[in-house]
Amino acid sequence: MPKVDVFPVYRYDAADCYSYAPGHVMHWIAWKRLDRYETVPVVSAGVDEVRVTLTLEDGRILTWWHHEARKLAKVARHPERAAVYRDRGVIALSTKNGEAQLLINCAGSAEGFSPCQTRFRRKYGEPHPAELPGAAR
């Protein structure tokens, strides 16, 4: 059987990230523990690249980041369907019928930005060419 390289060299997407650090992928154990925490509804949301500014129902304003801008754009388009697990750094965005949620693991400014961990970085120990400064995005 021929060896298949599962680490193709291509422009990676945040969807290839496997980091469980704040601002990246939600680990299933953290997801299972969310029912222990209360949510606060979102009144409005504004997105700037990978940062989201949330105004909560209780008047607080949070600025968090997430590695995948597409998910944050959904929160900005539908803030009425969003709620925040404020103590956990998670945004829950409900579907139209309310049966499912998109959970977005965010990081605040205290955690700082951490780069995505991709299979390429794991195998070769160096950044993917798309991660280098000046790379086309």
pLDDT at 124: 52
Mean pLDDT of the chain: 76
CA dihedral 96, 100, 25, 77 (to 10 degrees): 10
Domain range summary for the chain, segments of one domain joined by +: 18-126
**Could you tell me where the DSSP H helices lie in 34-116?**
69-77
pLDDT at 82: 92
Does the pLDDT at position 130 exceed 80?
A: no
- The DSSP 8-state label assigned to residue 67 in this structure reads S
- CB atoms under 10 Å from CB of 77, counted, come to 13
Which tokens is 25 given? Answer: 């992928």
**Can you tell me the mean pLDDT for 77-84?**
91
CA 6 to chain centre: 24
Does the pLDDT at position 4 exceed 50?
A: no
pTM over 0.75: no
Does the pLDDT at position 56 exceed 50?
A: yes
pLDDT at 5: 36
